[in-house]
């Protein structure tokens, strides 16, 4: 790894350490989930728009919603992102109902909605194992990549591939680690799920202004979303490919530093 005066050199661009002190200001983050509790102290005033999927004559449309979060899952994910990037702008796209359950078509429509609105980062702490959604999700993720939307997806918690996390070329996929420091994420080049981030016993926002300690790949995903928000504020205009390259370079530096500390 080439380092020049405390910066990380990535092909065609260079990143210095200043990104770690950013707040995600001006970066748009779409959370496709169960909604966000906009009244939670950690998120109050940060959610710029909330929409909810509704079936209208056999097609899914999105309408402004004040229903908030029906399961807590979306609020928990947004709380993690907000802790890392407190000035990011949140856009809640509600596709899951009570118990965190939802329809695959609503999931597809939510992703398409985020792409059409060109939100800079999309948090997908959800997925599907149903093979009929493989092709349409793949097409949507190609569209997201071409539109400059950076999609981050959580791996399945069960030992079974889920879509879209296995589409490694057009998105960033994440699984949990026991690491506590969100800056110290890992990158496993060549693996189906390439990134690892904190996802064990994570203290984050919950419904009713409360908090919970949660474990799962769902909660590793927003850690990476928060990191990307910092990188984008410090380096506006980076493409999805460049962001992935930057994450890989930073993770390699993390591994080198960890190895040196062990000596």
Q: For the chain, what are the domain ranges? A: 22-239
In this predicted structure, what is the pLDDT of residue 11?
A: 55
Catalytic residue among 73, 82, 175, 223: 73
Task: Return d(Cα 6, Cα 52) in angstroms, integer.
Answer: 44
Average pLDDT over every residue of 18-33: 97
Catalytic residue among 28, 40, 218, 223: 218
Asked if the model's pLDDT at residue 6 lies above 90, the reply is no
Q: Which CATH class is domain 22-239?
A: alpha beta
Q: Residue 258: which pLDDT band, with cuts at 50, 70 and 90?
A: low
Average pLDDT over every residue of 26-33: 98
The pLDDT tens digits of the residues spanning 184-205 come to 999 887 788 889 999 999 999 9
Give, as one character, the DSSP assignment of residue 46.
Answer: T
The token pair at 77 is 């994910």
pTM for this predicted structure: 0.91
Catalytic residue among 28, 33, 34, 42: 33
Q: Is 218 a catalytic residue?
A: yes
The pLDDT tens digits of the residues spanning 157-182 come to 877 767 777 776 678 999 999 999 99
Give the torsion through C-alpha atoms of 91, 97, 98, 102, to 10 deg.
-120
In this predicted structure, what is the pLDDT of residue 3?
A: 42
- Can you spell out the DSSP letters for the chain? --EETTEEEETTEEE-GGGGG---TT-EEEEEES---TTSTTTTTTEEEEEEEEEETTEEEEEE-----SSSHHHHHHHHHHHHSTTPEEEEEE-B-GGG-B-HHHHHHHHHHHHHTT-SEEEE---B--GGGHHHHHHHHHHHHHHT-EEEEEPPSSSS--BTTT-TTTSEEEEEES---TTS-EE-TTSSS-EEEE-SSEEEE-GGG-EEEE-SGGGTHHHHHHHHHHHHHHSTT--HHHHHHHHHHHHHHHHHHHHHHH-
Residue with tokens 């109902």: 97
In this predicted structure, what is the pLDDT of residue 101?
A: 76
In the chain, pLDDT over 90 holds for what percent of residues?
Answer: 66
Alpha carbons within 13 angstroms on the beta-carbon side of residue 235 total 21
In this predicted structure, what is the pLDDT of residue 156?
A: 86
């Amino acid at each position: 790894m080439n380092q020049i005066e405390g910066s990380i050199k990535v092909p065609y661009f260079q990143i210095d350490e200043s990104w770690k002190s950013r707040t995600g200001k001006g970066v748009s983050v779409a959370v496709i989930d169960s909604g966000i509790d906009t009244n939670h102290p950690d998120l109050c005033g940060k959610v710029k728009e909330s929409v909810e999927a509704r079936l209208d004559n056999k097609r899914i449309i999105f309408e402004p919603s004040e229903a908030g979060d029906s399961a807590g899952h979306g609020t928990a994910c947004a709380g993690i992102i907000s802790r890392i990037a407190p000035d990011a702008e949140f856009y809640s796209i509600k596709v899951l109902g009570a118990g965190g359950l939802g329809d695959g078509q609503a999931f597809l429509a939510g992703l398409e909605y985020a792409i059409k609105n060109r939100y800079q980062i999309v948090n997908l702490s959800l997925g599907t194992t149903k093979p009929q959604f493989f092709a349409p999700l793949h097409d949507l993720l190609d569209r997201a990549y071409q539109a400059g939307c950076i999609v981050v997806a959580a791996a399945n918690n069960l030992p079974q591939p889920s879509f879209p996390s296995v589409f490694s070329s057009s998105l960033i996929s994440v699984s949990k680690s026991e690491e506590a420091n969100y800056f110290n994420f890992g990158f496993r080049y060549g693996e189906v799920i390439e990134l690892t981030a904190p996802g064990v016993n994570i203290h984050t926002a919950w419904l009713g202004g409360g908090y919970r300690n949660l474990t799962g790949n769902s909660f590793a995903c927003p850690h990476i979303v928060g990191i990307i928000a910092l990188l984008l504020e410090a380096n506006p205009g980076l493409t999805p490919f460049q962001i992935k390259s930057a994450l890989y370079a930073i993770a390699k530096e993390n591994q080198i530093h960890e190895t040196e500390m062990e000596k």
